[in-house]
Chain A
């Protein structure tokens, strides 16, 4: 009897301590993440003005957004961006992981160098990329116009939205492949070597070893990376805006809508809600179908 009471006390004490330790962090997250999410939904039903007066307008913001062809263009642009960056990053990351899984001289140095795109601040690398595609001095135009003759004259590639999106996609692959390759590599190194030896005995070639051993083994890692990549790239702002602000994916579109011109924050809020709902919908679908949880 005495003993159980003591244990209860101990559990209670642990509970109090647990809540006490998490409280400061939880409070801040509650006030600055959870509350804003709700506040954002609230704002999306109001016409907000700069003076701070909000008037309730029901679903009008959503109507305005959904009937705007610009919005659908932004959705389409986002879709292209997310699909191509995710597929590109994953495929390239897988190739690099397979290469880096082999022993070769200077591998340590190569590993360090490959980390650079991932760790360098975005702001410090976008200008180098802008320069490469600069119409006057850039290397890309020099290569494609003077050396290879693919284009007949120099033009501003990043200034053309339809071309700029491909630059942002390649930029994103460049920036994020190190993460993907590291994650896949650490899984590759955990594969049982006996599997490959057994395959050798059965006379399997390189491709079938890759297809029937490597690929199934990395399936779930790749699956999770794809999910993370989609979530992150769907909300991506800086990597696109700083390199080519004419590529209007949803986040850039929202940014312009809410903070430039007439500053339609109410519509901006409804855009954020729509973006969030799309994302959650995708996550639920993906987790059920691909990761089969």
Chain B
């Protein structure tokens, strides 16, 4: 009697685990499945594609796109006339290039990468020194700053959108592409700054003072100890903070949607994906493939820091 109760309990428990995992990963399975399906297969509720189609990925990554639309007769011609020069070949291929319809995924990917890496890097540089200041030095105003960081942490998004937009447009930044890019970069920097300051401050507080004191007795200056002691000791935390900041910038849509309006050349990935979705219908395979490729870098980064993640979360490394 007791045994059978135990067994049914165990089954119930595993069913619960299974349900939780399924709930968490089902949308991802759906995403992978759709990105690999042909259009005629979309209505099929099965998650396994009847036939694998990697055309969407190829198109987004611009692999083999140059020769896709060339008629076979021309291909034969190109193959069988070896005496054509390179320039001539290129001219013929270019003629058949279908440039209007291609979604410039790689360009948006590059824009997002530059923007997020720069913002995360600058934010990290500023916050290492800032966090050191309020977490390890004693001076009047130190606790005010510490509390101020927490306060600022709650702001963001929609509450600051209008004034920041007005400020940028008053400064004339929004009339040029470069200006807009810089404005967005600075905004991403300031959005990641409070999080980085807060997290790094918490990490630095865990480093024993005695190590630093020993270095200073040896004649090291304060700045010297930051560079030689604090940074090497907290390198894993610094990497974690960098990845968090990177992710915040990589995911941002609200500001991008307002600031980048009209500048399609500097669209970030979220902007690009949204415009791809809105512009055309029946492009599920491309949308899903683009989603996969957008998620990949972030998921990969997170999996590398998974060990630090839980600690990072509890020391305030979260946004939204």
Contacts of B26 in A (CB 8 A): 132
CB of A47, distance to nearest CB on chain B (Å)? 13
Assess A36 versus B295: contact at CB under 8 Å? Given A110-B17, A137-B43.
no
Q: B276: nearest residue on chain A (CB-CB)?
A: A127
Q: Is the CB of A21 within 8 A of B129?
A: yes
Q: Is B263 an interface residue (CB 8 A)?
A: no
Q: Is A231 an interface residue (CB 8 A)?
A: yes
Q: Is the CB of A32 within 8 A of B295?
A: no
Q: Is the CB of A237 within 8 A of B299?
A: no
Contacts of B166 in A (CB 8 A): 39, 43, 48, 265
Q: Is B231 an interface residue (CB 8 A)?
A: no
Q: Is A88 an interface residue (CB 8 A)?
A: no
How many Å lie between the Cα of A96 and that of B24 in the bound state?
Answer: 11
Q: Is the CB of A40 within 8 A of B291?
A: no
Residues 224-240 of chain B, each 1 if its beta carbon lies under 8 Å from chain A, else 0: 00000000000000000
Contacts of A86 in B (CB 8 A): none
Q: Is the CB of B158 within 8 A of A122?
A: no
Q: Is B189 an interface residue (CB 8 A)?
A: yes
How many Å lie between the Cα of A275 and that of B189 in the bound state?
Answer: 24
Q: Is the CB of A235 within 8 A of B13?
A: no
Identify B21's interface contact among A15, A22, A110, CB under 8 A.
A110
Contacts of B13 in A (CB 8 A): 99, 102, 104
**Interface residues of A toward B: which range?**
35 or more
Residues 156-195 of chain B, each 1 if its beta carbon lies under 8 Å from chain A, else 0: 1111111111110110000000000000001101100110
How many Å lie between the Cα of A254 and that of B159 in the bound state?
Answer: 9
Q: Is B42 an interface residue (CB 8 A)?
A: yes
Assess A254 versus B295: contact at CB under 8 Å? Given A115-B309, A142-B45, A182-B313.
no
Identify A272's interface contact among B158, B247, B303, CB under 8 A.
B158
Q: Is the CB of B190 within 8 A of A119?
A: no
Contacts of A239 in B (CB 8 A): 320
Q: Is A148 an interface residue (CB 8 A)?
A: no
Contacts of A236 in B (CB 8 A): 157, 320
Residues 1-44 of chain A, each 1 if its beta carbon lies under 8 Å from chain B, else 0: 00000000001001101111110111011001111110110010
Q: Is the CB of A251 within 8 A of B158?
A: yes
Q: Is A262 an interface residue (CB 8 A)?
A: no
Assess A36 versus B167: contact at CB under 8 Å? Given A137-B42, A242-B253.
yes
Contacts of B43 in A (CB 8 A): 136-137
Q: Is the CB of A186 within 8 A of B284?
A: no
Q: Is the CB of B142 within 8 A of A114?
A: no
Q: A232: nearest residue on chain B (CB-CB)?
A: B320
Identify A15's interface contact among B28, B139, B253, B302, CB under 8 A.
B139
Among B52-60, B68-76, B86-94, B130-138, which stretch is in contact with chain A?
Answer: B130-138
Q: B32: nearest residue on chain A (CB-CB)?
A: A128
Chain A residues numbered 123-178 whose CB sits less than 8 Å from any CB in chain B = 123-125, 127-129, 131-132, 136-137, 139, 142-143, 174, 178
Q: Is the CB of B258 within 8 A of A259?
A: yes
Q: Is A89 an interface residue (CB 8 A)?
A: no
Q: Is the CB of A123 within 8 A of B251?
A: yes
Q: Is the CB of B141 within 8 A of A19?
A: yes
Q: Is the CB of B193 within 8 A of A37?
A: no
Q: A25: nearest residue on chain B (CB-CB)?
A: B130
Q: Is A179 an interface residue (CB 8 A)?
A: yes
Identify B160's interface contact among A37, A128, A129, A250, CB under 8 A.
A37
CB of B16, distance to nearest CB on chain A (Å)? 6
Contacts of A40 in B (CB 8 A): 159-160, 162-163
Q: A32: nearest residue on chain B (CB-CB)?
A: B190
**Sample (22) of A-B pairs whose CB atoms are under 8 Å apart:** A18-B133, A19-B133, A21-B133, A24-B129, A25-B127, A25-B129, A26-B130, A28-B190, A33-B160, A37-B160, A99-B17, A119-B302, A120-B295, A123-B273, A132-B26, A132-B27, A174-B23, A182-B313, A228-B318, A250-B158, A269-B162, A269-B163
